[in-house]
Amino acid sequence: MLVIPPLSNPHEAICTHLSWEAVVDFNNQQFFAKAIYDVTIVSSEVPSLRLDTSDLDIQRVDINEEPVTFSLSVPDEEKTHLGSCLEIDLMGVSKSAGSKISVAILYATSPTASAAQWLPPAQTAGKEHPYVFSACFVSVLFNCVHVMKSLTYHIYVCILIYSAQCQAIHARSILPCQDCPAVKMTYDATITVPKWATAVMSALSKESIGTAEYGDRVFHFSQKVPIPSYLFALAVGDLDSRDISTRCRVWSEPSMVEAVAFEFSQVEDFLKAAEELTLPYQWTRYDILCLPPSFPYGGMENPCLTFVTPTLLAGDKSLADVVAHEAAHSWSGNLVTNETWAHFWLNEGWTIFLQRKIMTKVHGDEKFFDFDSIGGWEDLKESVALLPDKYTKLIPDLDDGDPDDAFSSVPYEKGFNLLYALERMVGADKFAPFMKAYFNEFKFSTITTEKFVAFFESYFKDVFKDVPKIKEFDWATWLHHPGMPEKPAFDRTLSEECEHLADAWISVDDGETGKGILPKHDISDWNTGLKTCFLDALISTCTDRKRPLSVATIDWMKVTYSFHESQNSEILFRFCMLAVEAEDATILPIVARFITTQGRMKFVRPLYRALYHSTMGSELAVTTFFKHKDFYHPICAKMVVSDFKSGQKKKKSFGSIVSEKLQKPLVFCSIVALSAAVGIALLRGKRM
């Protein structure tokens, strides 16, 4: 039984295959496309096919090659994230349950499509060596038509990379579709791009690359494993690639390709480890595309082609666990897919579980599993402290809300901890075969929590008749209660030294032991994991005691460890958080640089929030964001604005700066929030 999404109607007529033809127009920042769907009629009575769209200009719809009438609904102002419903008339179409029709939609996307980012050269790695400019110069000499094309593409328009990020419900901004994960379909695609560009997709590339008018290049793709719309992905730009194993290749801008190949060279080991834990890899190839720095996530598990942020390029493979995570999604998420976004924990919780199993194998140290889980527990604590109760339940109350608003560590780490609790209850020797059976049972289909619980219970009843504790397992609390779960007794062997050092710094901060008495001054032999564990322990203690470190302690830490100069994004991020909270003004230029040279939401959002809440950086947060707004991916920009808005409610000052800068719909909210903030401030007489 399909879960019925708000706008589209897959329960009445379901798309099973997409043939997509798109011409990527860098000039106008849009593409002109034709989506041809194979649709299976579920109910013979269905009056129309309804598809999700957002910001699309629909020009024509044909069914079985005959034009039909269609309409686009006006977006609901309260739920703009849902976009508009494209309703295609099926009344005149002869159909019976089980019959197939072909639906062809001709349309153009908008330059403001929420999934997409069109990047000018200034935001790409190659900005100082514009390969495309030299290509253009050659064209100037030899071919007039090419001159016009090249000038338009490379000089006046200057867009080098286009990429689309569809999860959770942004696919509708580049493709009319049944934009819910319960619907899976195969696809093939033909993409026409300027001759300097390369197109890559979440699919296998077909051998033949053709040329079209003006020397444009044509790329062909095919995805034969059915996928949900959120895994539809495309990137176009000046791209180069290197093979790193028989089934893995990295892609990036030419200047970065060697660094990317080095950083992710372990990917084959990750895949082999995951195959041992689950079942053979089903997607043929596992390529990785390293995007420009404004990519809003650490990674995105687009099938056959994981997208990653360049903030993983630490130079020592220390942040490659994100690739292990995305590779693990090849089973949890891409093969066994959450049926609705309310069951997102089954994608991410399982993926964190597999990621930790993979990394434990790769590290060759059993204790790594709990060490990494401790870091995850800290992330979970932060999310739970920040979010309303409805989003801290494992199955959140999403209703028709924007899934981007609910995004947090909760599905990841609470989900992980549920699986870990189950593993401890039944024993690792029994959980391992269960895990294989689970992926085998639900591969190529979709999963809900109810299906998961039923499968778990029946598996242990049928296969292992001797696990009595199962009957007492408190599913209700795990699944439906907000807040933190019960804390397990993690093995702290590997984290102990870090926590001990953090305690010593806290006592230095409290003036108890004096600067000279630290258990360990030189941590240069510590790996990134130990350093982030130490910084996490400091952040956690400061949160618990509701008091930041003093500026003097931050200063001393800078002298001792130089974290503020770290090239490692995870270390720099944590230290910046500590320093902003300490109101250390000398960190401001470092933070400003960090949040304007990469747009990964994991780093950018907490730092903007912390700056905005600080006394020293409140104004800087707002001015910096608005100065660099176009640098960020639309999803990231939307979330930072939303964080400012919630922050305003808690502050008495600077609301007016935000109000001035935010666009029309937000001005009203800002004024209301500002009045509320002033009211609260008058009552409390203090900055909150």
Tokens of 120: 């000018």
From the CB of 299, what's the least distance to Zn ion, in Å? 7
Cβ-based neighbour number of residue 315 at 10 Å? 11
The span from the CA of 384 to the CA of 275, in Å, is 33
Parallel, antiparallel, or unpaired: how do β-strands 305-308 and 287-290 relate?
parallel
Binding part of the chain for Zn ion, among 177-185, 345-353, 359-367, 678-686 by CB under 5 A, reads 345-353
Catalytic residue among 107, 286, 297, 412: 412
Is 345 among the residues that bind ligand BES (CB under 6 A)? no
Q: Name which of 377 and 456 has its Cβ closer to ligand BES.
A: 377
User: What, of ligand BES, Zn ion, none, does residue 179 touch, CB below 5 to 8 Å by kind?
Assistant: none
Q: Name which of 299 and 529 has its Cβ closer to Zn ion.
A: 299
Parallel, antiparallel, or unpaired: how do β-strands 84-89 and 287-290 relate?
unpaired
Parallel, antiparallel, or unpaired: how do β-strands 116-119 and 161-164 relate?
antiparallel
Residue 574's H or E segment, with its range, is: helix 569-581
User: What, of ligand BES, Zn ion, none, does residue 643 touch, CB below 5 to 8 Å by kind?
Assistant: none
Nearest CA-CA partner of 121 in 255, 258, 313, 302: 255
Catalytic residue among 87, 301, 326, 348: 326
Closest chain position to ligand BES (CB): 298
From the CB of 408, what's the least distance to Zn ion, in Å? 13
User: What, of ligand BES, Zn ion, none, does residue 249 touch, CB below 5 to 8 Å by kind?
Assistant: none
From the CB of 273, what's the least distance to ligand BES, in Å? 16
From the CB of 354, what's the least distance to Zn ion, in Å? 10
Cβ-based neighbour number of residue 88 at 10 Å? 23
Is 392 among the residues that bind Zn ion (CB under 5 A)? no
From the CB of 326, what's the least distance to ligand BES, in Å? 6
Is 536 among the residues that bind ligand BES (CB under 6 A)? no
Residue type at position 647: G
From the CB of 311, what's the least distance to ligand BES, in Å? 10
The span from the CA of 277 to the CA of 651, in Å, is 49
Is 146 among the residues that bind ligand BES (CB under 6 A)? no
From the CB of 412, what's the least distance to Zn ion, in Å? 7
Q: How many residues bind ligand BES (CB under 6 A)?
A: 15
For ligand BES, which residue of 307, 369, 377, 407 counts as binding (CB under 6 A)? 407
Q: Name which of 443 and 628 has its Cβ closer to Zn ion.
A: 443
From the CB of 329, what's the least distance to Zn ion, in Å? 6
Is 325 among the residues that bind ligand BES (CB under 6 A)? yes
Cβ-based neighbour number of residue 342 at 10 Å? 20
Q: Is 567 helix (H, G, I), strand (E, B) or coil?
A: coil
Is 167 among the residues that bind ligand BES (CB under 6 A)? yes
Nearest CA-CA partner of 93 in 71, 58, 69: 69
Q: Is 287 helix (H, G, I), strand (E, B) or coil?
A: strand
The span from the CA of 117 to the CA of 624, in Å, is 20
Is 652 among the residues that bind ligand BES (CB under 6 A)? no
The span from the CA of 58 to the CA of 573, in Å, is 43
Q: Is 361 helix (H, G, I), strand (E, B) or coil?
A: helix
Q: Name which of 168 and 557 has its Cβ closer to ligand BES.
A: 168
Q: What is the DSSP letter of 154?
A: I
Strands (DSSP E) contained in 204-246 are: 204-205, 210-211, 217-227, 234-237, 240-243
Structural contact between residues 251 and 287, judged by C-beta atoms closer than 8 angstroms: yes
Binding part of the chain for Zn ion, among 3-11, 190-198, 341-349, 669-677 by CB under 5 A, reads 341-349
From the CB of 164, what's the least distance to ligand BES, in Å? 12
For ligand BES, which residue of 329, 531, 574, 609 counts as binding (CB under 6 A)? 329
User: What, of ligand BES, Zn ion, none, does residue 574 touch, CB below 5 to 8 Å by kind?
Assistant: none
The span from the CA of 644 to the CA of 263, in Å, is 35
From its phi and psi, is residue 124 left (phi > 0), alpha (psi between -120 and 50) or beta? beta
Q: Name which of 369 and 459 has its Cβ closer to ligand BES.
A: 369
Q: Name which of 411 and 606 has its Cβ closer to Zn ion.
A: 411
Binding part of the chain for Zn ion, among 206-214, 261-269, 347-355, 535-543 by CB under 5 A, reads 347-355
Structural contact between residues 82 and 35, judged by C-beta atoms closer than 8 angstroms: no
Structural contact between residues 203 and 235, judged by C-beta atoms closer than 8 angstroms: no
Does residue 187 have an active-site annotation? no
x/- track of binding to ligand BES for residues 606-625 (CB under 6 A): --------------------
Residue type at position 277: L
Q: Name which of 86 and 291 has its Cβ closer to Zn ion.
A: 291
Is 351 among the residues that bind Zn ion (CB under 5 A)? yes
Does residue 275 have an active-site annotation? no
x/- track of binding to ligand BES for residues 285-324 (CB under 6 A): ------------xxxxx--------------------x--
Tokens of 143: 């071919």
Is 408 among the residues that bind ligand BES (CB under 6 A)? no
Q: Is 487 exposed, middle or buried (0-12, 13-18, 19+ CB in 10 A)?
A: exposed
Q: Name which of 158 and 607 has its Cβ closer to ligand BES.
A: 607
The span from the CA of 199 to the CA of 33, in Å, is 15
From the CB of 159, what's the least distance to Zn ion, in Å? 28
171 upstream amide cis, omega within 30 of 0: no
Q: Is 579 exposed, middle or buried (0-12, 13-18, 19+ CB in 10 A)?
A: buried
User: What, of Zn ion, ligand BES, none, does residue 322 touch, CB below 5 to 8 Å by kind?
Assistant: ligand BES
Bridge partners of residue 336, in order along the sequence: 332, 445
Active site residues: 326, 412
Catalog residues that contact Zn ion under the rule CB under 5 A.
Answer: 348, 351
Point out which residues bind ligand BES (CB under 6 A): 167-168, 297-301, 322, 325-326, 329, 348, 407, 412, 602
